[in-house]
Structure 1
Amino acid sequence: MPIRILVWGENHHEKHHEVPQLIYPDTMHGTIAAGLRRVLGDDAVVETATLDDPEHGLTEERLAQTDVLFWWGHIRHDAVADEVVDRVHRHVLAGMGFVPLHSAHFSKIFIRLMGTTCSLRWRQAQDRELVWTIDPTHPIADGVPQPLVISAQEMYGEPFDVPAPDELVFVSNFSGGEVFRSGMTYRRGHGRIFYFSPGDQDYPVYHDAAIQRVLANAARWAHQDRPRTLPRLAMYQEGDYETPREWNGEPQE
């Protein structure tokens, strides 16, 4: 069965800012999706969703049909409804793969999954980034150049306020001497998470074939061919602490 991938995009810069419109005429999420289709071919079915879609394109039914969710957001994190964040969170815990990209480190869902501020140092300048493979045996690093050279990019630098990763796959350095843990894996519940930092809206990073290879590798790694059972919590009726009834996290009547 092909991997069912959903690429979620904020879709704000593509509508309101000239530079991203010129670089990504097919939108950022559309370009990411096209790269995944190019590398994965028949091994994946790739769809897209945006912030402006009903329920942000992340309905219960849509998530249930998604094996791996890619997420790109930047300046409208607060516009994502909390109930949608709750929904995505439950699906990640149940086994859906999750790949937050670049500024998604400040998304509500990534902060929820990490349990930290997820803050970092940054500098918006046309900077060269060298992405160094730290773990060449990791599946996400398969076929990735050493180093992967990004000629123009926004600088992200340490300290990065996230938990110690399960696996450190990539570390980047910049022309100003800064370093950054640019590719890290986590496991939350049954779900696999890969954070990858390259990909600012003002630079053509997602057109790069090596970047597309990293994202395709991440989709394969995050995908798990197993049934997904959403976590359920025990809820006790008032005055009754002996007989729990199941609660799926949705509001109760």
Structure 2
Amino acid sequence: MRVTVWNENRHEQKNPVVAEIYPEGIHGAIANFLREEGLDVGTATLDEASHGLTDEVLDQTDVLVWWGHLAHDEVADEVVEKVHQRVLKGMGLIVLHSGHFSKIFKKLMGTSCDLKWREADDRERLWVVDPTHPITEGIGQYIELEKEEMYGEHFDIPTPDELVFVSWFEGGEVFRSGCTYRRGNGKIFYFRPGHETYPTYHNEEVQRVIRNAVHFVKPVNREYPTYGNHKPIENISEK
């Protein structure tokens, strides 16, 4: 299975706090723990040609992991369309944290994907609300993060196909923080935590969720449906 971790890689260049937490970039940190799972992992960033998502890369990608924040508008529409088509044809997509505002997530959801937010070092408790779900394998009743950015309801997304995690924050808000969707042949998982100035992606339980999610959203081996005008399968009798 081939995984591509995409990150705009801007905070790491601008903010020394982020660079210290993620010296290889957020994409590098995620790629490293996915490689420990025995996965074939590559990375791509915004400032590469085609944002690192060339036709060749996308054609070879089974699961795409997406992190973005500062530069959603800089992602070319033609690249978004290519990713969209790949998801419909079966590529898995994991959207992390502020990727909720990415062009690709909004296109797939068809809503604003807006929410409330606050940077105030809130404690976050991500409650497992579907303990039967494979994404929660190896996770206890909840994951507790000492400090995170708050995201609060209302989160303007379609009703999830499956709700896996709900977060509670120290300031009192709650949030649907682990949601799955199916679009065409593809599966999508949105996972909330991961603000750039906190070491969230070094947390072993967060890593376990993302590893589990990669296996959950991986493509199913089946052909993409045909659409449009179609010849009959059986002979049509003359009336």
Contact 2:90 2:220 in 1 (8 A): no
Indicate if the aligned counterparts of 1:145 and 1:210 stay in contact, CA closer than 8 A.
no
SS at structure 1 position matched to 2:175: strand
Structure 1 vs Structure 2 CA RMSD: 1.6
| Whole-angstrom distance in 2 between the partners of 1:70 and 1:198 | 14
Q: Secondary structure at the match of 1:177?
A: coil
2:76 corresponds to 1:81 = yes
Distance 1:177 1:83, change over 3 A: same
Match of 2:41?
46
Q: Does 1:174 align with 2:169?
A: yes
Distance in 2 between residues matched to 1:174 and 1:29, nearest whole Å = 26
2:212 counterpart SS class: helix
Candidates 52, 59, 75, aligned match of 1:57: 52
Q: Which amino acid aligns with 1:113?
A: L
Distance 1:232 1:57 in 2: 29
How far apart, in 2, do the equivalents of 1:55 and 1:105 lie?
Answer: 21
Match of 1:23 among 21, 24, 34: 21
Q: Which residue of 2 aligns with 1:5?
A: 3
**Alignment of structure 1 residues 225-236 onto 2, 5 Å:** 225-226=220-221, 229=224
CA distance in 2 between counterparts of 1:206 and 1:145 reads: 18
Find the aligned partners of 2:8 and 2:24 in 1 and give their Cα distance: 14
* SS of residue matched to 1:86: helix
Distance in 2 between residues matched to 1:179 and 1:81, nearest whole Å: 33
Are 1:194 and 2:189 an aligned pair? yes
1:134 lines up with 2:129 in the alignment? yes
1:103 aligns with 2:101: no
Cα offset, 1:146, TM superposition: 1.9
The alignment's TM-score, normalised by the length of structure 2, stands at 0.93
- Partner Cα separation in structure 2 for residue 214 and residue 97 of structure 1: 15
CA distance in structure 1 between the aligned counterparts of 2:219 and 2:70, rounded to whole angstroms: 31
1:8-51 CA deviation, whole Å, 9 max, x = no partner? Answer: 0010000111110111111111001112122x12xx10110000
One-letter identity of the residue aligned with 1:54: A
Distance 2:25 2:207 in 1: 15
- Kindly state the Cα deviation for residue 224 of structure 1 after the two structures are TM-superposed: 2.1
Moved over 4 A (4+): 231-234
Q: Percent identity?
A: 57
3-state SS, counterpart of residue 152 of structure 1: strand
Q: TM-score, normalised by structure 1?
A: 0.88
The answer as to whether partners of 1:9 and 1:50 remain within 8 angstroms in 2 is yes
Extract unaligned runs of 5+ from structure 2.
Answer: 230-239
For residues 227 and 61 of structure 1, do their structure 2 counterparts lie closer, same or farther at Cα, with a shift above 3 Å needed? farther
Task: String of CA shifts for 1:53-72, please: whole Å, max 9, x gaps.
Answer: 11001111111100000000
CA contact (8 A) 1:15 1:21 kept: yes
Q: How far apart are the structure 2 equivalents of 1:193 and 1:53?
A: 24
Per the alignment, residue 216 of structure 2 pairs with 221
The 5-angstrom pairing of residues 237-248 of structure 1 reads: none
